[in-house]
């Protein structure tokens, strides 16, 4: 079984990907840098969780 993520992390990641699909990729570090430029994330922990879930969203979108 996988890890359980909180609903607001999932919702935020899906909204960001649907708003601008070309901005994010399957690479965690690239997504983390993209999110670092945004002012929405004050904590590193939240930014990293969203960046990690964005990887999953992008991978599932391509299937």
* Residue 18 predicted with pLDDT over 80: yes
Predicted confidence at residue 54, as pLDDT, reads 96
Joined tokens for residue 36: 């670092």
Q: Report phi then psi at 60, rounded to 5.
A: -75, -25
As a whole number of angstroms, the distance between CA 21 and CA 62 comes to 11
Neighbours of 48 (CB within 10 A): 15
Joined tokens for residue 46: 């939240």
Structural domains present in the chain: 7-62 (1.10.60.20)
* Residue 40 predicted with pLDDT over 90: no
What pTM value is reported for the model? 0.86
């Amino acid at each position: 079984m996988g890890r359980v993520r909180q609903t607001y992390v999932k919702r935020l990641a899906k909204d960001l990907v649907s708003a601008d699909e070309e901005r994010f990729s399957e690479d965690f570090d690239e997504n983390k840098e993209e999110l670092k430029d945004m002012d929405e994330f004050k904590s590193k922990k939240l930014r990293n969780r969203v960046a990690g879930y964005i990887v999953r969203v992008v991978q599932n979108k391509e299937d």
